[in-house]
Amino acid sequence: MAHNSKSAAEGEPTLTTRLPRRPSAADGVVIIDKPAGWTSHDVVSKMRGIAATRKVGHAGTLDPMATGVLVVGIGKATRLLNYIVGADKDYEATIRLGYATTTEDAEGEVTDIAAPRHLERVEFEAAAAQLTGDLMQVPSSVSAIKVDGKRAYDRVRAGEDVQLAARPVRVKKFDIIDYRTQLTDVGEVIDVDVRVSVSSGTYVRALGRDFAHFLDTHGHLTRLRRTRVGGYGLDQARSLEQLASELESSETISVLPLAQAAAATFAVRSISATEANDLGCGKRLRPSVQGSGSTEQPVTMAAIDPAGELIALLQDNGVRAQPTVVFAPRQ
């Protein structure tokens, strides 16, 4: 009986032969410059392919219209994301004065129209000052906040009238950069370029809405770019195209290692090998010198061992340092 003289053992691929799998990216953080038109979920889906792993997440949603810093965690770094979400953020935005939209940005339908009167820079700065500091802000009705188990934006799209409760936020900076008058299909408008620094949970769309109200008109955002999340800025960001190009010359992409990623946003506590072992067992540590004495707000600290490895995130309230996430449990 005739047979193939070259067997699979001699190197001939068969139908059941599996091609070598591209290695997954290392545990760490990648800062993405999110393009317009993409959802944050779209970026995560793309990154799963680029990083060759399904263990990918992001810290803080950006609307499809928005661009800029999206912090993506890979592997063990996904456990950092819940804490990075709470970091302060910087944005650049353009507020269009003259009419409101259903979404409080350029993607919504026009609702209320009120042609703005002639305004001077001093008036813009006065309105910005009213929106600086500790505020009670009513979030945008098309936010991701859940109302009776359903996202607010889903209720709005279903035709419901959604009214959200005001919540405390902090606006550290609200600077007027430039402004100009333009003629649009809706009428004459004023576009105001601003730069803001805000606490987590602050809605820049709502800031634009309230800024317009202080100027006796209606407004919405036509541009939103996030320039910083915690210690991660645009200078560290890469586009999806750049990451895909990196794969052409390497088997995987480079990432910001866990220890560096944590140190960029959290206070660092250098720990001994003994303390690292204690944390690996889930034990508490004594408070750091800086945290001596009880504090109302615990400080999140990155515990890094003598080898430069991230062992855990700690909540230090000045009485004890409690591990909340352990990255290197004792073997």
Residue numbers annotated as active site: 63
Encoded tokens for 184: 């649009």
Q: Give the C-alpha distances (Å, rounded to integers) separating 313 from 35, 94, 161, 265.
A: 31, 37, 41, 12
Task: Provide the token pair at 61.
Answer: 């949603």
Round to whole Å and give the CA distance between 50 and 57.
13
Specify the 3-state DSSP secondary structure of 300.
Answer: strand
Most distant pair of Cα atoms in the chain: their distance: 95
Q: Other CB atoms closer than 10 Å to residue 252's CB: what's the count?
A: 16
- Rounded Cα gap, residues 278 and 71, in angstroms: 30
CA distance 71 to 103: 24
| Cα separation, 132 vs 291, whole angstroms | 29
Nearest to 215 by CA among 295, 132, 97: 97
**247: buried, middle or exposed (CB in 10 Å: 19+, 13-18, 0-12)?**
middle
Residues 112, 148 contacting (CB under 8 angstroms): no
Strand 267-270 relative to strand 299-304, pairing: parallel
By DSSP bridging, strand 219-229 and strand 67-74 are parallel
Nearest residue to 168 (alpha-carbon basis) of 201, 140, 132: 201
Joined tokens for residue 44: 């995560």
